[in-house]
């Protein structure tokens, strides 16, 4: 999906209002600069492309962040503000699993979320 036509200002507002706090809560106060593998993004479309990939697709030993609160809010913001973005399709079984169990926060996932925070910060500057 090409994120060029998204409403970046509205997504940024949603990030400041709700997504940032959910990411911060997930990291539980741990400084996201404690990890060493850095990721850059150049401009808003590039940042959203990388945010989408890390948030909704398994990465580097972290099988799924898609059920986390920040991911659900990210999905809502992108679906609303990016024309034609289909987003994360939550089928019923996934929805039931979401309510029953949420994957324990592994260090691998925290590493991915710290990269997400860097991307979101860059996107919002």
Partner 1 sequence: HRRSSDATRSRCSRYIVRRGRTAGCLLEASKDEILCFSIANGADVLLRKCEWLSAYLKPSSPKDLNFWWRREAVTVTCSDLPYKRLLYEIQYKSVFDTEWQSKEGETCNVTMEGLDSEKCYFFRARVKTMESSYGSDTYPSDWSEVTHQQRGELRDSCPEKKLFPK
Which residues of this chain interact with partner 1, rule CB under 8 A?
15-16, 20, 31-33, 36, 38, 40, 117-118, 121-122, 124-125
- Residue with smaller CB distance to partner 1, 100 or 125: 125
- Residue with smaller CB distance to partner 1, 12 or 88: 12
CB of 88 to partner 1, least distance (A): 23
CB of 33 to partner 1, least distance (A): 6
Helix (H) or strand (E) holding 45: helix 44-56
CB of 125 to partner 1, least distance (A): 5
- Residue with smaller CB distance to partner 1, 36 or 86: 36
- Residue with smaller CB distance to partner 1, 1 or 40: 40
Long-range pairs for 112-115 at CB < 8 Å and ≥24 separation?
Answer: 112/54, 112/59, 112/60, 112/62, 112/65, 113/23, 113/26, 113/27, 113/32, 113/65, 113/70, 114/27, 114/30, 114/32, 114/33, 114/34, 114/35, 115/35, 115/37, 115/38, 115/39, 115/54
């Amino acid at each position: 999906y090409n994120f060029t036509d998204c409403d970046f200002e509205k997504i940024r507002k949603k990030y400041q209002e709700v997504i940032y706090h959910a990411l911060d809560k997930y990291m539980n106060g741990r400084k996201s600069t404690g990890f060493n593998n850095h990721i850059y993004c150049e401009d808003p479309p590039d940042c959203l492309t990388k945010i989408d990939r890390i948030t909704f697709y398994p990465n580097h030993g972290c099988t799924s962040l898609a059920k986390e609160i920040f991911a659900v809010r990210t999905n809502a913001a992108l679906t609303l503000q990016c024309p034609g973005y289909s987003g994360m399709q939550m089928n019923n079984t996934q929805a039931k699993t979401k309510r029953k169990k949420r994957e324990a926060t592994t260090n691998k996932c925290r590493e991915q979320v710290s990269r997400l925070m860097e991307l979101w910060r860059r996107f919002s500057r």
